[in-house]
Every structure is written in C-alpha cells, then in structure tokens.
A and B are shown apart, each in its own frame.
Chain A
Amino acid sequence: MARHSTHLAHHFDNATQQFESSKLGMWLFLATEILLFGGLFVAYTVYRANHPEIFVYAHHFLDKTLGGINTLVLICSSLTMALAVRAAQLGQRQRTVTLLAVTLLCAFAFLGIKYVEYKAKWEHGLLWGRHYQPALHDASAGAHQVPVLPAAPPQAAGDGSEASLIAPAAPAPVGLAPQATAPAPPAGKHEPPADLAAPKNVHIFFGIYFAMTGLHGIHVLAGMIAITWILRRARRGEFGPEYYTPVDLVGLYWHLVDLIWIYLFPLLYLIK
C-alpha cells in the first residue's frame, strides 16, 4: 500500500526499524516524565516523613469520593485508549475514532471534577503557604462548615525568630469564634474529625497537593491535545496495520498519565 512508503522516513532502512525507534524514543520520554514527577514525590516523602501529623490532618479536607471517581474515570480512559490502539492496528477507522473520543470525554470529566475540587479549596481558603486561610470564605458555603482552627500557638521563647505568619482565624459571620470548640461537623466527607488538633504548617500539605495535582493536570491537558490531534488523523483514515505509530505512542503517554494519578490518589487522599 502506498501508505507504507510515504510513512518511511529517508534515514530508516525499513518500517520496523522506524517503529522500534519511535517506541524507544517514547519510552525514554516517559522516563523523563517519571523523573520530573519524581522530584515532587521526593518532596512529599520528605515532608510526610518529617511531619506526618500535617498529612494526617490535612488530607481530611480532600473529597475521597470525587478522587475515587476520578481514578475510575482515568482507568476507564486508559482502557478505551488501549482499545483505540488495537482498533488502529486493525485499521478499524470508525472504532478508533469512537474510542479516542470516549477517552477524550473521560479526560474532560477528570478535569471537570478537578475543577470542582479546586474551586471548593479556593472557597474554603485551603491553599498553600500564606494563602492558607481556612476560616475565610465560609459564608459562601452554607452546609460546608470548615472546622475552626485555633490560631497558631505562640512560639516558645527559645525560637522567637520563627513567629508564625499564619493569620489567626478571623471571626466569621456563621457563629465561629476562635478557640471555641467547633460546632459538631456536618456529615460532610471533608473535614478532619473534631477531636483532631490542627498542627502547625498545615499549608505544606496544600502546597504539595496543588503542585502534584496541578502538574498532573497540565499533563492531562497536554494528553488531551495529543489525543485530539490523532483523533483528527484517525478520522482522515491515516492509521492501519502498516502505520499506527502515533496512536501507539500517545497511548503510552496516556497510560503514564493514568499511572501517575494512581499513585497520587492514595498518597494524597487515602492517608488514613
């Protein structure tokens, strides 16, 4: 078929050599991605090993249900992606297109759920660094009450140079008062238990959470762009048994994006 010769680049001897080279190249690129995320996993490990109380406390703010749904969504998308590669190999144009489209939809769903989660964090002041202001914005969420976090205790005299810069909880309109016992938390899934005292520097968790899930989200977005690109090529009938390399390579990338989330989910959401 003409497709064979037009896809063989001049510097390769045969299609097999070209295909194997492409695969090796993609695996090497995936290795770089693993090292990239690896830095964040190391940061997670270092901070969790040194301050487990921060992670135990703060992970309660995450919604395990939404995180679990996202996990299922991505796993499904990996399945449809793998099936799409198979369909491309077999030259099944319509099936390839459909499966890639479903994969794309799953990715949209993932990002949609992440948006919902991020928005909730923003509204409840559950952010990184100095932006961690958990008692603010409470009026906007009626049923979602964030438990009172007592103001950070004053430093011992010995290390007075490390005065906490976290603002104490401001009095808010919904009847919260500093140092009051928290009202019985509503039957929500995302607050720490009332008897769990807040440790110092809870924001560290959120810094790591947003860095890891944010970088992951960027990679999901990049994957969506790549999937859209091969979806268009598949619609034009460009893939078949002699040439399906781009589908295969995008599939590999997508599986890695899924795999990274499969590590992120238990590490961030399922700590206790």
Chain B
Amino acid sequence: MSMSTHTPSSAADDNYLHHGRGLKSWLTTLDHKRIGVLYLISVLTSFFLGGLFAMLVRTELLTSGRTIMDANSYNQSFTLHGAIMIFLFIIPSIPAAFGNFVLPVMLGAKDVAFPRLNLASWYLYVVGAVFALVSILAGGVDTGWTFYTPYSTSTGGAVVWLTMGAFILGFSSIFTGLNFIVTIHKLRPAWMGWFKMPLFLWSLYATAIIQVLATPVLGITLVLLVLERTFGVGIFDPALGGDPVLYQHFFWFYSHPAVYIMILPAMGIISELVSVFSRKHIFGYRFIAYSSIAIAIFGFLVWGHHMFTSGQSGLANMIFSALTFSVSIPSAIKVFNWLTTMYKGSLRLDTPMLYVLSFLFLFTIGGLTGLFLGTLATDIHLHDTYFVVAHFHYVMMGGTLIAFLGGLHYWWPKMFGRMYSEKWGRTAAVMIFVGFNITFFTQFVMGSKGMPRRYYNYPPEFTIYHQISTYGSYLLAAGFVLIAVYLIASLFKGRPAPANPWGAGTMEWQCASPPPYYNFHAAPAEHDPYDFSHLRYDESIDGYLPAPGAQGS
C-alpha cells in the first residue's frame, strides 16, 4: 500500500487544511497539524511585534541622547523587545509550530498523546500574549526582561501584567513539553526504538524535559515577584531583611535552561537538514542524540554564570565557570558531527541549506564568545556590555532563528502544499546573513570597548558602532520582510508541492503535501530516516520518489 502520492496535493480534498472549514473548525481543532499552524501564525505575529520594538531601540541608538523617544520609553522598548522575543517567540517557536506539526507524523502516529491539552496550550499562549499586550497599554514595563528586584518590585508600570503573562505562557510551554514526552514514549511504532528515531525528535524530547522541569521554577519566581510587589512580602527587599540576589538565583535557575529550550530544537532541525541537503547519512547519530540529553542535564547546573558580578562567593563563581565550560562540549560535538556529515557529501545549496550554513557559522561564533563570558577574569569587564548582547543574539538569533527559518523553508511545502520562489529564498537568506553580521558583530567590538547594554546615552566614540549596527539591522529587517512577501505569495501563486521535494527520508515526506487530516492510512514500514539510497529524483514532479523495488515505502 503506497503511502506517497504522485499527484499534487491540491487534488486531495481531505488534506488537513480543507478538512472542516471556517474559523470555528480551526479554533476548536484537535488536529496537531492545525494547532501547529495556529502556533506558527501566532509566533510569527509575535516576532513581528518584537521586531518592531527592536527597530525602535536601534533607531533610538542612532544618536546619543534623544533620537526618537525619551529615556523612559527607551527602557520600555528594550524590555518589551526582550520579553516578547523570548517568551512569545523563541521559546515556543520550533517546538510549538514545527514540533506539533511534524512530531506525530515522524512517528507515524495520528496525533500527539493529548490533543485537547495541545489546544489548551495554544489558548494559554494567546492569553499570555494578551496579558503582554495589555502591559504595553497599561503603563509599560521598564525593568528589562529579567525583572530584577528590587527595581521590579518598586517601580511603577504594568509589571504584574507582563509577569503574569509570562506565568501563563509558562504553562503553555509545560503542556507542550508534557505532551511531547508522553507521545515519544508511548506512540512510537513497535519497530522504532529510541535510536531509530529521527534526531529532531531526540532534540524535542530533551527540550521537553527542560520545559517540564525548569518552567515551574520560573512560575514560582514570578508569583513571588508579584506577591512582593502587591502585598509587600519582603523576601527580596533588603529593607525588610530580604535578599534581592535570591531573586536572581530563582530567575536564572529557569532562564538558563530556557536558552537550551531555545537551541536544542534548532539543533534538531539542523541535524535533519544537514543530512538531507548533503545527501548523506547523518554522522555520529548516537553522539548527537546523547549530547542533546547531556545539554539538557548540564544546562541546569550553570545558572550562576549570569551572576558572576552579583556578589556571590568566589567559590560559587569558580564552580559555575567550570561547569559552564563543560556545557559547551556537547554543543561542539554536534557541530563537528554536522561538519563531518557535510564532508564528501553531495551538497545542494537550496534555501534551507543556506540557513544551515549560516547556522554553523553564526552559532559557532555565538558559542565561542560564550567562553569569554564564562571566564571569570574577562566577564568582569564584559558583563552587562554589548558583548553579552552580541553573544546571545548570535546564539539565539544566529542559532535558533536561523534554524527556525531553515525549518520554515524546509517544511513549508509540506505544511501548505506550495513551493516558494527559490531565487527570492536565497536572496533573503543572504540579506539576513549579511545584515545580521553587520548588526551584531559590531556589538562585540562595542562591548569589548566598554559600551554598556540597556543604555540610552553613550559617549561620542561609540556613535559609529551604533550607527553601523543600526543600519545593519535595517538590512536584516528588509530580509525578514522579503521572506514574508514571497512566502505569503507562494500560498496563492506557488507551484504545487510534491510529497517529497527535498528527497528526505523521515516519515512526513511519505504522505502528501499537505498531509491528509489522518496523516497515514497505515503506519509506514520500518526504515532508516537518513538512508537516501532508496529515493530517486523525478523531474516530472520536481521531487523524489521511492526507487522501484527499493525498501522503505
């Protein structure tokens, strides 16, 4: 019984996009694919909003002193940029948008373990987003996305709205992670042992573990912050015998593992893409799988590296520094495995692969600069400077966002049944790569010369750096706008996509593009997701088909 179709998706009227019409059918859906699309729209909207704030921040910094807003508005702008990007975009993005869509299909399953919980997690996301929007309108927040006490407990503004929004978003994240863990444990087909799973699923699993264990700590931290602010509990207030650094410990105990929530799924995407677009079996499967778990575990042990200058003991500083060095090792292992996968492979520089190459370059820089920050002697000078800002933009944006875009361009044909313009795809990828480096490499230089982060004013010697960085950000923004234009255009004018345009081996490419609402008539047979030998390119459909007589369909 053949699972792949030879006909364009538009002929299949029972694909998930058309199965049940109207807004209500979407808002009450239990189909993981639709929930994935709902999330995709939501996170991209949030990205746009967070990006607007970024543009405001960078434009303000074109000149020292007032450019387009006063200092108070500036503080609110960078706070909301950070909070929106982190809580509303990066953390949910890959798991909720792509994980939801792809995870059950990669398992040959019909859905995640708890479809209603899945829909509930999206609704929680929306409610959290509403709270964040209300906070913008109800006075704004100027504490930075980290909400450090004692400022956050004593300043005016809508701190409670934003922190409670983050609290609600935390539950959205927890439910997604919980769902994924149970799905991977219980809904794998009988033949798919742990080490036969696609690596994207390993990364989602490791991410889910962090989501489930770390997010509740953020929850209680924000609750304590709100209690402190509204009822004056005193736990973080030095005047009442409290300890503001305790807040930092609580906050970073979640927020450091959170960055691994951000990067692990991105690394999972890279594992998939690098193999497909090198037409070569992934190298070091077990190393990559184990390193995902290692990152998840070690990520819980290093939170103190955000607090080297907080006054904690020298011993604590040394331990956290050493552990921070060790957490870089599993990430490096992955990078070497990906490079080795490419070595002597047959590279195809389609748009997704351009994002893979960007990722390898940008994430490596981001990771290496983390070592400067993890070293006590240098961190004294670099803490709270633009060096830190550049570092985390290289890993979060150059890492996660770039991988997200790679995944978006990879799975777009599958999700929507359309091919986008490859020419514009490559153009945008290059614009983003160039714009990104102009924007953020400059910030490494600025930071090492002493420019502090979150500052509204600066001495004249930094002006040139800020201006270069800002103009780079305009190029970056133009790249994103271009992506939006051609992707949306593809929905109306794009060539119908074949089931397997890239010649990939994971199971989602064995059903039509877009998939039927039930995913598969029958679960696909056992196969190696990184074995491409059984796929042949067919020019008539500009896609791949199982070779006649070959195993795996």
Contacts and interface: CB of A to CB of B under 8 A. Distances in A.
Interface of A: 9-12, 17, 20-21, 24-25, 28-29, 31-33, 35-40, 42-43, 46-47, 51, 128-131, 162, 165, 200-201, 203-204, 207-208, 210-211, 215
Contact of A204 (B113, B115, B241): B241
A10 B375 CA distance: 53
Interface in B197-219: 212-217, 219
B231 interface: yes
A28 B216 CA distance: 12
B240 interface: yes
B235 interface: yes
A201 B227 CA distance: 18
Nearest to B114: A25
A23 B174 CA distance: 16
B139 interface: no
Interface residues of B, number: 43
B68 interface: no
Given A24-B185, A39-B217, A201 B240 contact: yes
Where chain B touches its partner, the secondary structure class is helix
Contact of B224 (A17, A35, A165, A211): A211
B216 A24 contact: no
A40 B233 CA distance: 13
Given A39-B224, A203-B240, A25 B178 contact: yes
Nearest to B208: A28
Contact of B235 (A10, A165, A204): A204
B217 A24 contact: no
A11 B178 contact: no
Contact of B240 (A10, A38, A165): A165
Interface in B206-265: 212-217, 219-221, 223-224, 227, 231-235, 237-243, 246, 250
B182 A162 contact: no
A28 B178 contact: yes
Given A39-B224, A204-B240, A129 B216 contact: no
A17 B233 CA distance: 46
B187 interface: yes
B233 A32 contact: no
Contacts of B111: 10-11
Interface in B166-214: 174, 178-179, 181-182, 185-187, 212-214
Given A20-B186, A28-B181, A207 B220 contact: no
Nearest to B178: A28
Contacts of A203: 234, 240-241
Contacts of B232: 128-131
A130 B178 contact: no
Contacts of A51: 241
Interface in B84-123: 104, 109-115, 117
Closest 8 CB pairs of A and B: A201-B241, A39-B220, A129-B234, A35-B216, A11-B111, A129-B232, A36-B216, A11-B110
Contacts of B231: 128-129, 131
Nearest to A214: B227
A240 B304 CA distance: 51
Nearest to A29: B178
Contacts of B233: 128-129, 207, 210-211
Contacts of A131: 231-232
A208 B235 contact: yes
A201 B241 CA distance: 6
A165 B241 CA distance: 10
A265 to B, nearest CB: 20
A63 B381 CA distance: 53
A9 B216 CA distance: 29
22 contacts: A11-B113, A21-B187, A24-B186, A25-B114, A25-B179, A28-B182, A28-B212, A31-B212, A32-B215, A35-B213, A35-B217, A37-B220, A40-B220, A43-B235, A51-B241, A130-B234, A130-B240, A165-B239, A165-B240, A201-B241, A204-B242, A215-B223
A211 B227 contact: yes
A11 B213 CA distance: 27
A51 B243 CA distance: 12
A32 B212 contact: yes
Contact of A46 (B185, B213, B243): B243
A40 B117 CA distance: 27
B118 to A, nearest CB: 11
A128 B213 CA distance: 29
A106 B209 CA distance: 35
A211 B250 CA distance: 15
Contacts of A42: 250
Contacts of A9: 115
Nearest to A127: B231
Interface in B156-174: 174
A203 B238 CA distance: 13
